[in-house]
Homo-oligomer: A and B are copies of this chain.
Amino acid sequence: MTVSEKTNRKDLVTNIDKSNEQFLIEGIRQMDPTAKVLGEEGFGDKLTSLEGRVWIVDPIDGTMNFVKQHDNFAMMIGIYQDGKGQLGFIYDVMNDVLYAGGPAVDGVWANDQQLSAPANLALSEGLIGASAPLVVHDTAHMQKIVHDSAGMRIYGSAGIEMINVLLGKTLGYISYLKPWDIAAGQILLNFLGVRVSTIDGQPLNMLSSNLVLVATEKAQRDILQIEEDDVSL
């Protein structure tokens, strides 16, 4: 394995991220030759719109964990039709569990077990996932959000964080995310009633970065209230 830095020493890419993405995109091109593909490592198309069918690919989500832990990373694919999520896949590689589903198949499964919607917990009733820089810099009132929750967890992979939300182990997740970090999870989570929005409650722009708020309906309301209370000061 060869490891390189992308934008800084905490933003890694390996030869395996790249070869995984090439392998996935080749397969997608064969299966669905007219579709567009957006990939983290740049082997897909340059997208300017979400018209038609778009596959959004993250060959290794949580590359730092992949490099340092050999655990707690995921492969992710989200399939969108004219901007609407149809089918999402998050593969927890080391536990060999594929989370798959969405409107196209009318359900969400963990391997062969169908998942039911996680409990609609209020912020105070559950744990919240976060990314470390947001907490350190207190971006978007993260410290108040953490304070009001039952506690914060940091797993270091958007895919693993979203699996935890799907399973009800955390009630949400807040992080700056690129389209490939959230494309699959948004489809799976929305299908099970979990809200995915920007931190101020707007729909995500799937062609750019977003400060993403994943939360149960009740926790989303609690967190948007925290954001709104501050604005009104």
Which residues of chain A have a CB within 8 Å of any CB of chain B? 9-10, 64-65, 68-72, 124, 126-127, 132, 135-136, 143, 146-147, 150-156, 164, 169-170
Residues of B within 8 A of A136 (CB): 135, 143, 146-147
Query: Are B154 and A64 within 8 A (Cβ)?
Result: no
Q: Select the residue from A151, A155, A169 with max chain B CB neighbours within 10 A.
A: A151
Residues of B within 8 A of A135 (CB): 132, 135-136
Expressed in whole angstroms, the minimum distance between the Cβ of A24 and any Cβ of chain B is 26
Expressed in whole angstroms, the minimum distance between the Cβ of A232 and any Cβ of chain B is 24
Q: Provided the pairs A127-B64, A169-B68 are in contact, do residues A151 and B156 lie with their beta carbons within 8 angstroms? A: yes
Query: Are B68 and A126 within 8 A (Cβ)?
Result: yes
Task: Say which residue of B9, B124, B146, B153 sits within 8 Å of A156 (CB atoms).
Answer: B153
5 more A-B residue pairs beyond the given contacts A132-B146, A136-B147, with a C-beta to C-beta distance below 8 A: A64-B150, A68-B126, A69-B170, A70-B169, A151-B156
Query: A2 CA to B143 CA in the complex, in Å?
Result: 29
Query: Are B169 and A127 within 8 A (Cβ)?
Result: no
Expressed in whole angstroms, the minimum distance between the Cβ of A115 and any Cβ of chain B is 15
Residues of B within 8 A of A71 (CB): 169
Query: A19 CA to B222 CA in the complex, in Å?
Result: 36
Query: Are B132 and A169 within 8 A (Cβ)?
Result: no
Expressed in whole angstroms, the minimum distance between the Cβ of A132 and any Cβ of chain B is 4
